[in-house]
Structure 1
Amino acid sequence: MKIHEPILRDILDLQAILLNEIIDEAAAAERNLADAFGETTRTEGDLNALVSIREEAQDSYRRMSSLMSNIASSPARTAVDSMRLLRQAYLRTGERIAPAIRSIQEVKIAWQLP
């Protein structure tokens, strides 16, 4: 079953945001924080928050990729269920983008990270 082009484009755009604005930024902030201040009790909470943000974004990215692959290779009757799950994953991920970006920015500001 083919995913309609506008829907596919929206999902791929969301995945690009996950990669560039969350996964990459959280990983960079995590590295910068650990390099500048070490892994101490003082930095532990923010380091854990950044890891959690990054891992959640990676899970969302993988979930949507897996569902798209399942849709493309499944018969129409089973692909419909995967489409419903993909829509839910897309909506849930979209709701989490702004808070994740905000959380990364807050850590960067608090520690004066690049």
Structure 2
Amino acid sequence: MAKLPDPVLTNIFTLQRRIIESIEATTALAFRLFTQWGETTETLTELEELQNIQERLRSQYSRLNTLLLKVSESQPTASEDMLNLLYRTIEVAELSLDASIASLQEIQRNWN
């Protein structure tokens, strides 16, 4: 099994938690927009953007989770390519999460 360093595992689990929390926040905001203002020409763009954010976050979470499982099941060790892919996926997920949070905050400001 490929033993990942504790800081890497901690980073992955923290990232997964942040993604889940952002998915929940995105879903909650979409629900609030829809219940308070309905599906109008003003909210439709925002609701679509929230759905896109949620899909991007879900994709990042899934990709990260799948790679982590593959690395943990690798015997006797994970290949360098697999580890590089995992590390790159972490970087991309962090960037995507930061961009998603910024978009979510902008939509929240628009409707507060």
Q: TM-score, normalised to structure 1's length?
A: 0.88
Q: Give the distance between the partners of 2:8 and 2:78, measured in 1 at CA.
A: 18
What residue in structure 2 maps to residue 94 of structure 1?
94
Give the gaps of 5 or more residues in structure 1: none
Do the aligned residues in 2 keep the contact of 1:71 with 1:82 (CA within 8 Å)? yes
Confirm whether residue 33 of structure 1 aligns to residue 14 of structure 2: no
Matched to 2:14, the amino acid is D
What residue in structure 2 maps to residue 17 of structure 1?
18
Q: How many residues align?
A: 111
Identity %: 27
Q: Give the distance between the partners of 1:77 and 1:5, measured in 2 at CA.
A: 16
Matched to 1:4, the amino acid is P
SS at match of 2:3: coil
C-alpha RMSD of the superposition: 1.5
Give the gaps of 5 or more residues in structure 2: none
Q: Give the distance between the partners of 2:72 and 2:107, measured in 1 at CA.
A: 39
Q: Give the distance between the partners of 1:104 and 1:66, measured in 2 at CA.
A: 26
What residue in structure 2 maps to residue 67 of structure 1?
67
Of residues 95-104 and 83-92 in structure 1, the stretch that sits farther from structure 2 once superposed is: 95-104
Confirm whether residue 52 of structure 1 aligns to residue 52 of structure 2: yes
Q: Displacement, 1:99?
A: 2.1
Task: Summarize deviations over 1:62-89 as a string: whole Å, max 9, x none.
Answer: 1111101001112246543221111111
Q: Give the distance between the partners of 1:109 and 1:6, measured in 2 at CA.
A: 35
Q: Give the distance between the partners of 2:77 and 2:4, measured in 1 at CA.
A: 14
Task: Summarize deviations over 1:12-51 as a string: whole Å, max 9, x none.
Answer: 111111111x211111111100111111222111001111
Matched to 1:37, the amino acid is W
Matched to 1:99, the amino acid is A
